[in-house]
Amino acid sequence: MTAADRADMPACMAYKAFIAGCSGPDLTEDERAFLRDQRPCGLILFARNCVSRDQVKNLTESARACCGDEMLVLVDQEGGRVQRMGPPEWRAYPPARAFARLYAQNEEEGLRAAHLVTRLMAEDLYELGIDTDCAPVLDVPVAGAHEIIGDRSYGDDAETIIALGRIVAESLLESGVLPVIKHVPGHGRARVDSHKELPVIDAPLEELESVDFKPFAALADMPLAMTAHVVLRAFDEEAPATVSPFIMQEVIRRQIGFKGLIMSDDLNMSALSGEPEDRAKAVLGAGCDVVLHCSGVYADMVRVADAVPMLSDEGQTRFQAARDRLQEPAPYDRDEALQMCEKVSRSGSEQRKS
């Protein structure tokens, strides 16, 4: 963080109700000015932003120099297919499903593995100034669903997903990193990829309540959640959950009981329609606290930023409550974690070969 960066820090640290991306490994001058002027409440990183440890640390420090230390820095670091920070600079981590296989053989060992490997993965984030991990995935996949969830899920049944999802979320918190449970109220039945088109789910209300919603209700005490861009016809015939006031208020807030800060999934996904600013307004109008815009395309970020207000009073309270959950990392057995990571990864490789 340079002296010039510190001098440019805004006097007021109030934040707008959106999370932005950036275009590359270093902030451009336009992006620095954008962060100073617009003050998004978070910055989300992707593989295009993560080249080396020193570079990522400099990026997070530069962003906070522009926007204030309270700003969240997020990344999707699940392991497996969704790992924005990967080899050769960072180790490859096993997917969620690998822990489910171990859990099926030995529940205690499965939970221990999930705990230790999450601690190891979170250590990578913490040392770079990344304080929020968009994990765990709590979706319950069903037969015939699109593979977009697949091995990102911690099992095929709600109970296993609850057990492993809980240990992963709590292990992130122990590591000084906030978890984001996703994709509420459930993406596991989607038969198409919401990045490309809008999934429509026809499952009856009773089935959704007894299966899909169950992991989210069990982890409703977590600080942050991300929505699913899916239509649940049992509740809303047309609008995806992200932009459905009924689903946001009656299902997610009341029935599931989630009290933390809710962010949308990426505004750029084809499951949503309309111009970027219209999508942002619809998301906030439905009851999300924060919109998520991931592309890093500067012109689109400006349109979104101009369309969204500062965090609402409730949103600010939830944002601060999430930040209050951050702590210094607790001690853990790093040597055992490295051994367990290797064991789970090796087991997963053998499973795929067979």
Query: Per-residue pLDDT tens for 116-141?
Result: 999 999 999 999 999 999 999 999 99
H helices present in the chain, as ranges: 3-7, 29-38, 53-67, 96-105, 107-126, 158-174, 205-207, 214-218, 245-246, 276-286, 298-307, 313-324, 334-353
pLDDT above 70 (res 8): no
Angle between helices 107-126 and 334-353 (to 10 degrees): 110
Pairwise CA distance, residues 166 & 298, whole Å:
37
Decide if 172 contacts 178 (C-beta within 8 A): yes
Burial readout 169-208 (b: 16 or more C-beta within 10 A, e: otherwise): bebbbbbbbbbbbbbbbbbbbbebebeeebbbbebeeeeb
Helix, strand, or coil (residue 45): strand
Pairwise CA distance, residues 51 & 54, whole Å:
9
Phi, then psi, of 264 in degrees rounded to 5: -75, 160
Pairwise CA distance, residues 15 & 18, whole Å:
8
Instruction: Compute the mean pLDDT over every residue in the chain, rounded to the nearest whole number.
Output: 94
Pairwise CA distance, residues 167 & 199, whole Å:
29
Q: What is the pLDDT of residue 66?
A: 97
Q: Are strands 82-83 and 77-79 parallel, antiparallel or unpaired?
A: antiparallel
Report which of 115, 79, 118 is spatially closest to residue 95, judged by C-alpha positions.
79
Report which of 249, 138, 243 is spatially closest to residue 187, judged by C-alpha positions.
138
Cis preceding linkage at 136, omega within 30: yes
Q: What is the pLDDT of residue 352?
A: 52
Over its C-alpha atoms, the chain yields an Rg (Å, rounded) of 19
- Counting residues of the chain whose pLDDT is more than 90, the rounded percentage is 91
Active site residues: 195, 265
Pairwise CA distance, residues 16 & 305, whole Å:
8
pLDDT above 90 (res 60): yes
Decide if 327 contacts 176 (C-beta within 8 A): yes
pLDDT above 90 (res 353): no
Please compute the mean of the pLDDT values over residues 293-309 and round it to a whole number.
Answer: 96
Please compute the mean of the pLDDT values over residues 81-88 and round it to a whole number.
Answer: 96
